[in-house]
């Protein structure tokens, strides 16, 4: 991958944005038809680097905002960049998947909310903090598949070629796609931005992962004493929300109904 020179070296964010840009080039989508919605902040130069519209919204609210964009202009390809969305915004995630909204959701999972007062969240295991929760961790790929996503994958931020291919495949497929990306993020360690520690942790995730394409999503839970299972787990086709809406209203109203475009 060719990294953007002004983005932090060895950062997970740099790798993710590079994969996203490469995937968009690969599928040859008109940049004016792409909108990215994110619930975490970005460096200003990223928008110029990507070359398409990017919206920053309230934490956990990227999916409903993206849904509004899609319904306002169905011709748009809407990409969601969200952090740990099963905990903040989990309800939006489940209902968008159930409805099969035409969204590509990239869930950047760093196991913590670094910007919310150091809170420990349901994605944090005891080895990462003595005050971590004792509850079962959410399995993002399995929740996505169970709720109706048509494409489900997981990679670390250093699986560049695989992540790029997954994003490209998701962009080509109508419906709700979910790609979980394991990355520590730039602010994983308090007071240490883009540190070598974060870089080492990113490499650790990559080294301690194993590719199992087609693996049953019930088996891909993340645990500190096991390898991280990554891969493309699942894909299939079913009508999108707008397709289902048009079909149902046409059946009910006949020629009186004007299809939603």
What φ, ψ does residue 51 adopt, rounded to 5°? 90, 10
The tokens 């602010």 sit on which residue?
187
Closest CA to 155 of 20, 9, 63: 20
- Tell me the mean pLDDT in the region 237-245: 95
pLDDT in tens, 128-171: 455 555 667 789 999 999 999 999 999 999 999 999 999 999 99
Residue 193: pLDDT band (50, 70, 90) is: low
pLDDT given at position 236: 94
The tokens 């699942």 sit on which residue?
234
CB 167 within 8 Å of CB 16: no
Report the percent of the chain where pLDDT is more than 70: 77
Neighbours of 154 (CB within 10 A): 31
- Tell me the mean pLDDT in the region 210-219: 97
Those residues whose C-beta lies under 8 Å from the C-beta of residue 123, and which sit 6 or more positions away, are 84, 86, 87, 109, 111, 112, 137, 138
CB 153 within 8 Å of CB 141: yes
Q: Domain segments of the chain: what residues?
A: 12-256
CATH superfamily of 12-256: Thiamin diphosphate (ThDP)-binding fold, Pyr/PP domains (3.40.50.970)
Mean pLDDT computed over every residue of the chain:
83
């Amino acid at each position: 991958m060719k990294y953007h020179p002004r983005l932090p070296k060895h950062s997970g964010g740099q790798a993710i944005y590079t994969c996203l840009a490469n995937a968009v080039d690969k599928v040859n989508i008109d940049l004016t038809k792409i909108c990215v919605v994110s619930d975490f902040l970005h460096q200003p130069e990223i928008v110029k680097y990507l070359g398409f519209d990017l919206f920053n919204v309230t934490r956990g609210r990227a999916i409903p905002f993206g849904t509004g964009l899609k319904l306002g202009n169905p011709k748009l390809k809407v990409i969601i960049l969200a952090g740990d969305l099963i905990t903040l915004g989990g309800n939006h995630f489940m209902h968008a998947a159930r409805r099969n909204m035409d969204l590509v959701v990239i869930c950047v999972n760093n196991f913590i909310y670094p910007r919310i007062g150091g809170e420990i969240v349901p994605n944090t295991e005891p080895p990462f903090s003595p005050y971590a929760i004792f509850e079962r961790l959410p399995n993002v790929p399995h929740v996505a598949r169970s709720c109706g996503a048509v494409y489900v994958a997981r990679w670390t931020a250093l699986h560049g070629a695989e992540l790029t291919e997954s994003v490209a495949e998701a962009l080509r497929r109508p419906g709700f796609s979910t790609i979980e990306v394991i990355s520590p993020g730039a602010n994983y360690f308090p007071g240490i931005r883009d540190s070598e520690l974060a870089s080492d942790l990113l490499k650790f995730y990559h080294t301690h992962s194993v590719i199992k394409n087609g693996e049953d999503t019930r088996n891909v839970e993340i645990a500190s004493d096991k390898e991280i299972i990554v891969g493309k787990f699942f894909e299939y086709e079913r009508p999108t929300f707008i397709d289902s809406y048009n079909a149902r209203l046409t059946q009910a109203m006949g020629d009186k109904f004007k299809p939603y475009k």
